[in-house]
Chain A
Amino acid sequence: QVQLQESGPGLVKPSETLSLTCTVSGGSLSPYFWSWIRQSPGKGLEWIGYVFHSGSTKYNPSFQSRVTISLDTSKKQLSLNMTSVTAADTAIYYCARRITYLDVWGKGTTVTVSS
């Protein structure tokens, strides 16, 4: 069955760029949408955006100006880049399948923004 695994640095400095990768195994990227979601004590679960298997994207307006999500089909990886991070971006970041109900989730990766 399909599995997702997030990876990336656990500590990012304020004002820098957060970069995460999600590797998809045991299944195909097509014909699905692939989402990034984060969870923090202050804001709960927040949907950040998605990438379609074709490469098209859509972002939550709350993150629109500083987020990029992309897809590397050859590696079966989706990526999240978030610029100009602050302490408010400290959270567990998840990748998940679909943009409607989210039926498969990665285990999540914790990102702390601190100098």
Chain B
Amino acid sequence: DTVVTQSPDSLAVSPGERATINCKPSQNVLYSANNRNYLAWYQQKPRQPPKLLIYWASTRESGVPDRFSGSGSGTDFTLTISNLQAEDVAIYYCQQYFTSPPTFGGGTKVEIK
């Protein structure tokens, strides 16, 4: 299975500042035939299911605020939350869907400083 490693495990950011979360799949998730990275990001708040934020590494899901952005390629990816708001407190997960089975990172907890 492709192991997905996230860092840091947690971070505290002041309101209005930027939060950066890293994700490293153990195998390349870029499919050269279509130049797409098979990676998604989710937000999970307490007692809720994960919510899709980003897919194809950088495509924002409909309705997701533009302060959330995804970048990277191959085996190195980043989720950036610009202008952090109180409602962004959550655990964030990345997931690769290039190899089967799809696998998730261990999560990054984002808190307000």
Report how many residues on chain A are interfacial, defined by Cβ distance under 8 Å.
19
Contact of A105 among B50, B56, B102, B103 (CB under 8 A): B50
Contact of A101 among B52, B101, B107 (CB under 8 A): B52
* A106 to B48 CA separation, bound complex (whole angstroms): 9
B45: Cβ under 8 A from any A Cβ: no
B49 touching A108 by the CB < 8 A rule? yes
Within 8 Å CB of A87, what residues of B? none
B49 touching A47 by the CB < 8 A rule? no
A44: Cβ under 8 A from any B Cβ: yes
Q: Mark B16-34, 1 if CB is under 8 A from A, else 0.
A: 0000000000000000000
B104: Cβ under 8 A from any A Cβ: yes
* A47 to B101 CA separation, bound complex (whole angstroms): 7
Q: A100-B40, A102-B40 are in contact. List 9 more A-B contacts (CB 8 A).
A: A45-B50, A45-B93, A58-B100, A99-B97, A100-B55, A101-B52, A103-B61, A107-B48, A108-B49
